[in-house]
Amino acid sequence: METKDLRISGSRLRKSLEEMAAIGATPGGGVQRLTLSDEDKVARDLFVKWLRELDLDVTIDDMGNIFGRRAGADNRLAPVMSGSHIDSQPKGGRFDGILGVMGPLEVLRTLHENKVETHRPIDIVDWTNEEGSRFAPAMVASGVWAGALEKEWAYNRTDINGKRFEDELIRIGYKGEIPCRQHPLHAYFEYHIEQGPILERKGKLIGAPKGILCLHWYDIYLEGTANQVGPTPMKGRNDALCAAAEMILKVNQLPTKMGGDMVATVGEIQNYPNSRNIIPDKVHFTVDIRSWDDDLAIAAWEDVRKAFEEIAGQRGCPIRIEETWRVAHSPFDERLVQRVLQSAENLGYPALHMVSGAGHDASYMNQITSTAMIFVPSIGGRSHVEVENTTWEDCEAGANVLLQCMLASANEK
């Protein structure tokens, strides 16, 4: 059989996903498998067992990242890597992350049972703590591996109970011997659910993001004048919550105003003293702006910042603005992106050249090697919730695309 006719087993992939979904299963049909929790350990143990069944060379580094290497014909060549994360959000779904670990596992099983030898070696990986929901920030272990984050800093992250990352890593037995440090790679593929509604809306089965949107975070602090609401006439009030409400709507209107593929969101707000009969005198809210076009995102911010200052002036509410975080957009290797599209086409799957609005471990990998991602549809665009869902057929299709992409890259000289 030619390798272009190889197919993964959809039923075996489903079985693996269902076994993983049982670890930390929630009554609402999702999973809670927080990083470095007991559930994470159980899932890791199962993953390692499955790797060993394929005679892979299993290594665990001192950030808890789990690698399995399948030898190639020429093991002096840089390997092709694929992986994602086993950890989940609290009350997360059954596909986010784990699909990108079970997918390449299914690819390796397929190669194994068909005794396919690739030119280059292949690495599979589970990255520790992608979600960042127990220990902030997100994507910490792939960041350390890629040399973008400091290991000691990561070790000292604490969860809300004050437990240290490193201590929890040791507790579950996954602080490995090998230093967490990048090795040369030929290519990196990450298979993931879309986490948005675009594929579903456009009737496509496979998404090939050309890269990850830029991400700009801002923090806005407003001051008003607290007074009892009854005796204080409307005229002359400095109501910080009203000022914030006007600003929130300006942020919401920004993408329409600026055009392009921008999204702009206020997700978080704190209001003080937050008492029903006192005029709010302090409000903090956040702004999240994302776009493929960094300059457009900056221009949008300049526009909305001017609007904020006008509103603050009109309402008599002094404003303080922090430009908290800016990450430039991250274009993937277009040659690999086209490989994803071509593989999908060869397999007869309608595919879409799109963008990724969310960050992934692939963001850090993209800093050090040729990278691409494969998306499959999220039903209703829902993710980070228990009802997150993707059909088994779509899971199978995406894994077949991954198989073909990995084969193509692993057979490159």
Q: Tell me the closest approach of the beta carbon of residue 325 to its own copies, in angstroms.
A: 10
One residue of 48, 245, 299, 347 binding its own copies per CB under 8 A = 245
Encoded tokens for 196: 């948005």
* Options 5-13, 18-26, 220-228, 300-308: segment touching its own copies (CB under 8 A): 220-228
Q: Tell me the closest approach of the beta carbon of residue 328 to its own copies, in angstroms.
A: 15
Tokens 């997700």 belong to 267
- Give the 3-state secondary structure of residue 330: strand
Q: Tell me the closest approach of the beta carbon of residue 232 to its own copies, in angstroms.
A: 5
364-403 binders of its own copies (CB under 8 A)? 381-385
162 bridge partner residues: none
Q: Could you give the CA distance from residue 316 to residue 117 in angstroms, rounded to a whole number?
A: 71
* Options 12-20, 173-181, 250-258, 396-404: segment touching its own copies (CB under 8 A): 250-258
- Give the 3-state secondary structure of residue 25: strand
One residue of 76, 115, 161, 234 binding its own copies per CB under 8 A = 234
The reply on whether position 274 binds its own copies by CB under 8 A is yes
- Give the 3-state secondary structure of residue 249: helix
3-state helix, strand, coil split of the chain in percent (to 5) is 35, 20, 40
The reply on whether position 223 binds its own copies by CB under 8 A is no
Q: How many residues bind its own copies, per CB under 8 A?
A: 57
Q: Could you give the CA distance from residue 104 to residue 100 in angstroms, rounded to a whole number?
A: 7
CB nearer to its own copies: give 11 or 324: 324
Buried residues in 43-56 as b, exposed as e (16+ CB within 10 A) = bbebbbebbeebeb
319-358 binders of its own copies (CB under 8 A)? 356-358
One residue of 59, 232, 338, 367 binding its own copies per CB under 8 A = 232
| Contact letters for its own copies, residues 281-320 (x by CB under 8 A) | -----x-x-x------------------------------
The reply on whether position 359 binds its own copies by CB under 8 A is yes
Cα dist from 368 to 39, 125, 300, whole Å: 31, 16, 30
Q: Could you give the CA distance from residue 294 to residue 318 in angstroms, rounded to a whole number?
A: 29
Encoded tokens for 284: 């903090």
The reply on whether position 231 binds its own copies by CB under 8 A is yes
Cis peptide before 273 (omega within 30 of 0): yes
Q: Tell me the closest approach of the beta carbon of residue 201 to its own copies, in angstroms.
A: 8
177-216 binders of its own copies (CB under 8 A)? 194-198, 213, 215
Distance from CA of residue 102 to its chain's centroid?
A: 16
One residue of 144, 241, 351, 403 binding its own copies per CB under 8 A = 241
The reply on whether position 155 binds its own copies by CB under 8 A is no
The reply on whether position 140 binds its own copies by CB under 8 A is no
| Contact letters for its own copies, residues 24-63 (x by CB under 8 A) | ----------------------------------------
- Label each residue of 119-149 as H, E or C: CCCEEEEECCCCCCCCCCCCCHHHHHHCCCC
Contact of 128 with 169, CB cutoff 8 Å: yes
One residue of 203, 267, 348, 413 binding its own copies per CB under 8 A = 267
Q: Half-sphere exposure of 192 toward its Cβ, with a 13 Å CA cutoff?
A: 27
Long-range pairs of 275-278 with CB within 8 A, sequence gap ≥ 24: 277/228, 277/229, 277/230, 278/226, 278/227, 278/228, 278/229
CB nearer to its own copies: give 171 or 384: 384
Q: Tell me the closest approach of the beta carbon of residue 255 to its own copies, in angstroms.
A: 5
Tokens 């087993």 belong to 9
CB nearer to its own copies: give 8 or 98: 98
CB nearer to its own copies: give 232 or 367: 232
The reply on whether position 248 binds its own copies by CB under 8 A is yes
Q: Tell me the closest approach of the beta carbon of residue 244 to its own copies, in angstroms.
A: 8
* End-to-end Cα distance, the chain: 22
Task: Give contact residues for its own copies (rule: CB under 8 A).
Answer: 194-198, 213, 215, 217, 225-234, 236, 239, 241-242, 244-246, 248-249, 252, 255-256, 263-269, 271, 274-280, 286, 288, 290, 356-359, 381-385
